[in-house]
Amino acid sequence: MSWLASNTFHHGQFDLAELERRKRQAGVSISLCIPTLNEERTIGKAIVVLKSELMDRHRLLDEIAVIDSGSDDATREVARAFGADVYPAAEILPECGHHRGKGENLWKAIYQLSGDIIVYVDADIRNIHPRFVYGLVGPLLNMPEVSYVKAFYDRPLAESGRLRPSGGGRVTEILIRPLFSLFFPELSALIQPLSGEYAVRREVLEQIPFPVGYGVETSHLIDVYHRWGMGAFAQTDLDRRIHTNQATDALGRMAFGILQTFLQRIDSLEIIGDLPALNTTLYQFMVDQGRHEETAHDIRIVERPPMIEIPAYRTKMELASESR
């Protein structure tokens, strides 16, 4: 059976009570990490819905934590009001400094959270539902060989009942899938490689580096694939995800950052010959009263090392001085 057939799931295949039983049986703990930056409009609902269903009614989650990048709005206050643990990212591992970016929050969550499994769910999902968590945890509890579960979503605008294309967003289809098809064809089986929701075992998370900004998802996939192979992955259809679409120029900056990460990876894996020093400036254009103006965006990829190399983490987790 192909990986696509054996490791692709639908959230409807998982029963919460059964997952709760399997979790108890496996003796694992599960943490939910919600990285935030100015999400006061959506964070309250996310916490209420997920806490009610997955901590109170079912004991699937052991902690719900918000790792905040320094919101200017009431994100942290709202999250606390509804019972989440809230941690400003800058206050976690202060000796390692602070970078602003989603990847930074995800990386610091490995240190701050206690779960054997960490589920990452973005706060900007407007139709949040418990399936966004249990659909990702399901394969990990059912398949010991799986370590990293990605979400994918249906994205219909209209349906005719006929066969229709399925896949990711614009950056995925125009950039990532062609690149994966060229260099890592097996990874093309991931339907939405850039989706922001995934559940991962700690022993994998602590051993992979984290770009702090654009590219964290891409680098994860390449690193996990390179080290543990395709069998470590699974993917789950979570049905619809409603969120605010990004403008094309924002996607351009995202693509530029992802491409840098990708090229660094294939360079370090010696898949291609030595790359020249890469430019880190992206030029885009605006039109003002018929006149084109160039805007330059400096996008540099800062990468956090595997958490297991951080002394404070090794102390906290009571790890021996050498890598385990």
Partner 1 sequence: MWSSGRVPGTLADSVNQPNVTGFESIVQRVGELPEALRGLQDVLLANLAMIAEIPAPTFAEAARAAFVQERFAELGYSECSMDEVGNVAGVLPGSENGTADRNILLVAHTDTPVAATVDHTVMVQPERVIGPSVAENSLGLAVVASLPAVLERLGLTLRSTVLGLACSRGLGRGNLEGVRFFLDHAKLPLQFGLCVEGVQLGRLSYTSIGMIRGEITCEVPEEYDWSRFGAGGAISTLNDIITRMLEIPTPDRPRTAIVLGRIDGGTSASTIATRAALQFEVRSESGATVRQLLQNIHEIIEEVSSQTGADIGLHIFARRRPGGIAFTHPLVRRTRRVMQSLALTPRLSPSTSELSAFIDQGVPAVTVGLTSGEALGQRNEAVRIAPIYTGLAQLLGIVLAMDGGYCE
Site for partner 1, rule CB under 8 A: 40-42, 44-45, 48-49, 51-53, 56-57, 77-78, 81-83, 126-127, 129, 242
Indicate the residue among 126 and 227 with the shorter CB distance to partner 1: 126
At residue 288, what are phi and psi to the nearest 5 degrees?
-125, 110
Indicate the residue among 133 and 200 with the shorter CB distance to partner 1: 133
Smallest distance, partner 1 to C-beta of residue 240, A: 11
Indicate the residue among 47 and 149 with the shorter CB distance to partner 1: 47
β-sheet bridge partners, residue 294: 285
Smallest distance, partner 1 to C-beta of residue 62, A: 16
Smallest distance, partner 1 to C-beta of residue 235, A: 24
User: Of 7, 12, 4, whose CA–CA distance to 239 is shortest?
Assistant: 12
Indicate the residue among 74 and 189 with the shorter CB distance to partner 1: 74
**How is residue 192 written in tokens?**
């939405």
User: Of 164, 138, 234, 165, whose CA–CA distance to 195 is shortest?
Assistant: 234
How far from the centroid of its chain's Cα atoms is residue 54's Cα?
20
User: Of 56, 115, 48, 127, whose CA–CA distance to 83 is shortest?
Assistant: 48
Tell me, what DSSP letter sits at residue 183? H
Indicate the residue among 82 and 233 with the shorter CB distance to partner 1: 82
> Is 22:142 a contact under the CB 8 Å cutoff?
yes
Q: How many helices (H) and strands (E) does the chain have?
A: 12, 12
CA distances from 147 to 65, 116, 248 (A): 21, 11, 33
**Buried/exposed 193-213: b ≥16 CB within 10 Å, e otherwise:** bbbbbbbbbbebbbbbbbbbb
**How is residue 224 written in tokens?**
């996990």
Smallest distance, partner 1 to C-beta of residue 160, A: 19
Smallest distance, partner 1 to C-beta of residue 32, A: 14
Indicate the residue among 83 and 167 with the shorter CB distance to partner 1: 83
Smallest distance, partner 1 to C-beta of residue 195, A: 20
Tell me, what DSSP letter sits at residue 160? -
Tell me, what DSSP letter sits at residue 152? E
* Separation of first and last alpha carbons in the chain: 33
Indicate the residue among 243 and 300 with the shorter CB distance to partner 1: 243
Query: Long-range contacts: 243-249, Cβ < 8 Å, 24+?
Result: 243/122, 243/124, 243/125, 243/126, 244/124, 244/126, 248/170, 249/284
Smallest distance, partner 1 to C-beta of residue 95, A: 34
**Nearest-angstrom CA–CA distance, 172 and 187:** 12
Smallest distance, partner 1 to C-beta of residue 54, A: 10
Indicate the residue among 129 and 150 with the shorter CB distance to partner 1: 129
Smallest distance, partner 1 to C-beta of residue 245, A: 14
Indicate the residue among 37 and 221 with the shorter CB distance to partner 1: 37
